[in-house]
Each structure stands twice: as C-alpha cells, then as structure tokens.
Copies of this chain bind each other. A is one copy, B any other.
Amino acid sequence: MVSTRAYRGVPADERRELRRSALIETVLDCLRDDGLGGVSVRSVCARSRLTPRYFYENFDDLDQLLVAAVDSVVDEVASASLAAMAAAGDETATQVRAAIDAGYGVVVTDPRKANALLVAAAGHGPLRERRHRVVTDYADLIIDNLPALNALGLSERRRARATALFLMGGSAEVIEAALSGRLRMSRARLVDHLTTMWLGALGAGLGGTG
C-alpha cells in the first residue's frame, strides 16, 4: 500500500514530503483568496494539482492541514525573531526591536503567512485552540529570553504572562492593520512604534503596580 521505491528519480519519502509541502503551500493561497470558507479537501487538491488520495496520505483531516500550515508559519516567525534577538546586543530595547523587526519581516515578505496567522487562525475552532497554545508558549518564550523579565517570581510571572498576551494581541492588530493598508506607516516607524508600546507596557506592568 505504502510507496517504497523511487519514481522519476525521487525516492518515495521525498515525494511524499514534496506533496505535503505543496498542500501546505496551497492552503495558504486558498486562505488568502477565498478565506477560511474557501478551504476544502477538493479545493486544495484541485489547486495543488493533486488528488484526494494524496491529501489523505498526509493528513487525516482538513483541520490537520490547517494546523500544520499555521504551525509552519509560527515556527518561521518564532525562529526568525529569536535569531535576531540573539544577534542583537545586551540592551532590552535593542533586543525587543530586533525581534519585532524580524517577525514583521517574515509576514511582510509573504502576506499569506500573516493572513493565515492573524486572520484564519482566529476564527476556526481547532485552529483557535492551536493559536491559544502558540500565543501562550510564545509569550513564555519571550519572557524567558528577555533579561528584564526572566528573573521574576511566580506571581509576578503570571502577571508577566498577561502582559505578554497583551503585547502579542496588540502587535497582531497593528500589523494586520498595516498589512491591509488601513494603517499607513513605514516599516521602520511601525517597528519603532511597536517597540515603544512593548517597552512602555513592560515598564508599566513591572514598575507601575509592582
């Protein structure tokens, strides 16, 4: 039943991975053009020039494909932000700006990813739960990598988590507005503004009501 030998030069598992990638890539297009409602097994298959058999070869469910697509975008954004943050200096302000700029760079280069991450992931059930988990994990990850935050106690850390959630949601809203054209700002100004928001909220959330 399962493919084992090569076909047209490429081995079986590589072919399989190629089709899987094609499906993930295609679902981003479907999401951009027709929204969440335009995503179906048939539409994704037709657009990727694959047949339903290869869909079910890689995913049990349509939600599984959507989750995989969102996950791939999340991984890309997170790794870009973390790498930039690590490459930045020791100052918190510089690190925050580098992380925001890198993350924004990913989605501004390929708006489909921003669409999948900020729009589609918010509305659909299983995808929303995934988004919740990702946002929480990402928030914790930010806290851990921010010298000003990772030395907090437990109760303070809970408040820091709320702060991180706030920063994530606020950034998403601003970035979505910028990418959709509703908010006209240069990339530098946008990143500066977001950095200011982050530092302001962080400073207020720690020193203000400490």
Whether a CB of chain B sits under 8 angstroms from the CB of A209 is yes
Q: Is the CB of B167 within 8 A of A132?
A: no
- CB within 8 Å of B: which A151-210 residues: 158-159, 161-163, 165-174, 177, 180, 182-185, 190, 192-194, 196-197, 199-205, 208-209
* Chain A interface extent, by class: 35 or more
- The answer, among B132, B165, B197, B203, for a CB contact under 8 Å with A166, is B197
Whether a CB of chain B sits under 8 angstroms from the CB of A128 is yes
Q: Is the CB of A204 within 8 A of B196?
A: yes
* Residue of B whose beta carbon sits closest to that of A202: B200
CB distance from A101 to the nearest CB of B (A): 16
Q: Is the CB of B173 within 8 A of A168?
A: yes
Q: Is the CB of A35 within 8 A of B197?
A: no
Within 8 Å CB of A161, what residues of B?
183
A residues sitting closer than 8 Å to B (CB atoms) are: 35-37, 119-120, 122-125, 128, 132, 135-136, 158-159, 161-163, 165-174, 177, 180, 182-185, 190, 192-194, 196-197, 199-205, 208-209
